[in-house]
Amino acid sequence: MEETATRHRGVSGPRHQDGKQARTMHKCVIHAHTNYSFDSNVSPQDLIDAARREGVSCVAVTDHDEIAGAIEVRESADDLTVIVGEEVSTADGHLIGLFLNEWIPPGMSAIETAQAIRAQGGLVLAPHAFCTLADDCLGEAMYGLLPWLDAVEICNAQSPAPWEDRRAATFAQQHRLPVYVGADAHLRGRLAPCYQMLASVDSPTRFLESLRSARLHFGRFGPWYFARMAFRHFWDLFRDQRLPGFGANAPKRIPETA
């Protein structure tokens, strides 16, 4: 799908003719998986290669209930800013923590998980909050999370249902929350069907400030991606085992319910 861009409260442009230096912007992908997630076949090196190929300078790696993949990517790519994140399976649906130092265990309530993320100084993000094609969305639990929510995903590139994104955008607007676009990339090949241009990514505070004025580039994966993910899902369902290549580094503690 062709990408479109939306500007929120303005963003610096390139160098002007008068010689003034424009602010350096970061092409940032939020919500990306490696094979430390049971449903991804992307090795840490695959992710790094894709980032370099697609001109991505910052990526928030958010494996299911794991941070080891994000740490490996960070330690393996000096030219890439890596935000250590985790997509946590809470009792109420998935919740993302960014700028984490420690692993967050799954199974707690969404509020308890958000509090654990905040206790590390991290940011609390709501991915695919109103999805209807899976059972991992927060849905009505979003309202109870309002005191802890830092940002809402208003485009999920892995979702074929744009009306779910529109509902998330309406929620964010009503509650004046920052928004972001999430790649939710699980397969080797393409990393950034959607991304944001951010002014600063070096701390939670500056990241969140930059998100409020980010230029968002919307996009989705194509039909071949969805076909491959559907095949993986039904393989797991009917064969009662992972499709070869998926979850190669996934710890056994990860619940296979996403």
Query: Could you give the residue ranges of the DSSP H alpha helices within 38-109?
Result: 44-53, 68-76
Helix/strand/coil percent split, the chain, to 5: 30, 25, 50
Q: Which has more confidence, 142 or 7?
A: 142
Please state, in angstroms and rounded to a whole number, the distance separating the CA atoms of residues 75 and 163: 38
Amino acid identity at 150: D
- Mean pLDDT computed over 2-28: 48
pLDDT of residue 46: 98
pLDDT of residue 198: 98
Beta bridge partners of 59: 29, 82
Q: Report which DSSP code applies to 234.
A: H
**CA 23 from centre of chain:** 24
Average pLDDT value for the chain:
89
- Mean pLDDT computed over 60-73: 98
Q: Which has more confidence, 42 or 20?
A: 42
Q: What percentage of the chain carries pLDDT values higher than 70?
A: 89
- Give pLDDT tens digits for 151-209: 999 999 998 888 999 999 999 999 999 999 999 999 999 999 999 999 999 999 999 99
How far separated are the first and last CA of the chain, in Å rounded? Answer: 25
- Give φ, ψ of 40 to 5 degrees: -125, 145
Q: How many helices (H) and strands (E) does the chain have?
A: 7, 10
**In the predicted model, is pLDDT for residue 58 greater than 90?**
yes
Please state, in angstroms and rounded to a whole number, the distance separating the CA atoms of residues 154 and 12: 23
Contact yes or no for 230/158 (Cβ under 8 A) = no
- Mean pLDDT computed over 108-124: 98
pLDDT of residue 13: 30
**In the predicted model, is pLDDT for residue 234 greater than 90?**
no
**Ordered structural domains, the chain, with CATH:** 23-239 (3.20.20.140)
Q: What percentage of the chain carries pLDDT values higher than 90?
A: 76
pLDDT of residue 132: 83
